Amino acid sequence: MSRIIGIDLGTTNSCVAVLENGKPVIIPNAEGNRTTPSIVAFTKNGERLVGDLAKRQAVTNAAGTVSSIKREMGTDTRLELGGKRRTPQEISAMILHKLKTDAEAYLGEPVSDAVITVPAYFNDVQRQATKDAGRIAGLNVRRIINEPTAAALAYGLDHGESQKIMVYDLGGGTFDVSIIEIGDGVIEVLSTCGDNHLGGDDFDQRLTNYLVSEFKQQTKYNIAKDPMALQRVREAAEKAKKELSASTTANVNLPFLAQGRSGPLHMDINVTRAVFEQLTRDLVERTTMPVQTALNDAGLSVSQLGRVLLVGGSTRIPAVQDHVRSLVGMMPSKGLNPDECVAMGAAIQGGTLEGSLISGSAGNGMAAAGNGQEILLLDVTPLSLSIETVGGVATRLIERNSTLPVHCSLIFTTAASCQTKVEIPVLQGERPMARDNKTIGKFRLTGIKRAPRGVPQIEVTFDLDTNGILKVSAKDLGTGRAQEIVISSSSNLSEAEIQQAIRDAQEYAVADSQRKEAMEVRNQAETLVVETKEAFRVCGKELNKADQKQVKNDLANLERLVNRNSPEKITADALPEMKAAMEQLQRSSATLSQLYANHQASGQN
């Protein structure tokens, strides 16, 4: 069986890990980095770039570059990218596909299965969208787990003592706080709360705005209207923000940022940590409420917390650390690497499912785990699930923070006499009125036996699986007829759409590998040109005139092809001609190569 990789599909950065000899190991990407920017781009000639390569060209191709797509998961958003309208699932799938490919290169074997993490606050639609993204990328998503749970898992493996902990996770685009109980081989999420729209990106934005306005004061030039310059400022702002975590001032120096009336304009602005803290104070404070709600929901006071873990790159900001300390009255632990521990936890969960970490049935959420190595993961649903009933009321079937998997049935009846069908919106959220919650789908039950209102008995069942994904079913108890009910949410993809996206993704996989081959061949051709030139310089005169002419011709021909097909432009179409030209040069320069090899061996110059 192939290995199950653990993926932290982050808003800003993603990370992939695998269990090796019982320990989670981070898999470096093809560019040699331990995290991969969650950025996708299409260049002008239709080439798809993901990760570091996409990030690098974002300045010059702002319109063709997408970042923070995770914020759009589970919405109806479609983005025009590479000449096509694409769903957030398809774009996320491109990131997942890169992580999969990098993992395959690292492991030297195909990878088909993964555990993927999501923010604890993700609703059902967002979880389903994440699963669909995995499928489109060619991954069998074995389980979706909450990011803070994954972090606790990474933590729990190393530290066995029983305790309740808080995981404070401030990443690039989302904030999650979870209260978790770790003990005796069981990790249970007691409560979770957060903000899907708060993270490091917001800190970058504040600093960017500040730089733009300072620059405008100094030069009268409005960068906000210059997308290329703005992208450079954004990147510089993120860099300065990171520097300010370690030092008290940062210099933002961007030469030739824009073209002013009287020549080029340069940005040179110093930002102090104090200014940065002032610009972002309210963002830090926005984490207070979710912390308090999570504690209340878990029925705990701060004094009952054994530890607070910091997760997510933005927890490196000193003001964030100070704020956490003042909220909980203790120093947060920093034992885990905040950028990597979520992927590590996912890899541990992958190992559990794969059976390499434990024996027994801990993975199904039912076993009473006992011995040291076993880990039982008990996730909770972050939001209550209800259906809309008469008067627009949200009637709850599953309460927030119920442990997964959970199953609940309630009996409903008709509101009008002789009603033969009902259409019931399924809701997610905590508000008493249906309209104030999020409608995640609608279902329709038909063929109800005609009867006075209030007589038919309709049993509605909610089944929430271990991934937090909801299935709804209903049965007319009067006729015994069960209806096949499918939750159809407008923002989830249909099976046909998923299949189409899988085909598109496969096409890209082919295009990617063709391009890789083309680059490799071009590289070999370029090497052959350089080597033959050198051999000719040293030993060319030892060949007869006819051979000299032939080698020169073949060399010029190959060099022309190499120059014509630059690395940015080369496609698979150029390969047959280039390969033929290489073979021709190899043939005609065989004697030259031999002479040169002898020359080298005899140590002459």
Q: Binding residues for ligand AMP, per CB under 6 A?
A: 10-13, 171-172, 200-201, 238, 241-242, 245, 312-314, 316-317, 339
Q: Which listed residue (113, 169, 374, 554) is catalytic?
A: 169
Cβ closest to ligand AMP, residue 71 vs residue 100: 71
Whether the Cβ atoms of residue 167 and residue 151 lie closer than 8 Å to each other:
yes
**Residue 169 annotated to the active site:** yes
Identity of the residue, 176 or 354, whose beta carbon is nearer to ligand AMP in the bound complex: 176
Q: Do residues 241 and 204 lie in contact, with contact meaning Cβ atoms separated by under 8 Å?
A: yes
Q: Which residues contact 148 (CB under 8 A, 6 or more apart)?
A: 120, 167, 169, 176, 177, 178, 180, 189, 192, 311
Least gap, CB of 342 to ligand AMP (angstroms): 7
CB of 340 to ligand AMP, least distance (A): 9
The dihedral sign for the CA sequence 61, 64, 69, 72: positive
CA dist., res. 17 & res. 6, Å (int) = 5
Coarse DSSP helix, strand, coil percentages of the chain, rounded to the nearest 5 percent = 45, 25, 30
Catalytic site residue from 90, 102, 147, 202: 147
Instruction: Please give the residue whose beta carbon sits closest to ligand AMP in the complex.
Output: 200
Q: Which helix (H) or strand (E) holds 297?
A: helix 288-298
Q: Which is nearer to ligand AMP, 102 or 559 (CB)?
A: 102
Six-digit token string for 445: 């039950």
CB environment 302-312: b (16+ within 10 A), e (fewer) = eeebbbbbbbb
Those residues whose C-beta lies under 8 Å from the C-beta of residue 243, and which sit 6 or more positions away, are 250
Q: Which is nearer to ligand AMP, 174 or 467 (CB)?
A: 174
* Residue 70 falls in the annotated catalytic set: yes
How far apart are CB 399 and ligand AMP at their closest, in Å? 30
**Closest CB 470 distance from ligand AMP, rounded Å:** 27
* Catalytic residue check, 8: yes
Length of the chain measured in residues: 605
Which residue matches tokens 């709850």? 396
Distance CA 185, CA 191 (A): 19
**CA–CA gap between residue 312 and residue 332 (Å, rounded):** 13
In the bound complex, what is the minimum distance in angstroms from residue 236's beta carbon to ligand AMP?
Answer: 12
Closer residue to ligand AMP (CB): 33 or 222: 33
Two structure tokens written together for 436: 């104030």
Write down the least CB distance from residue 241 to ligand AMP, Å: 5
Q: Is 508 exposed, middle or buried, given 0-12, 13-18 or 19+ CB atoms closer than 10 A?
A: middle
Q: Of 55, 70, 131, 475, which is the active-site residue?
A: 70
Nearest CB to ligand AMP, comparing residues 151 and 424: 151
Residues recognised as catalytic:
8, 70, 147, 169
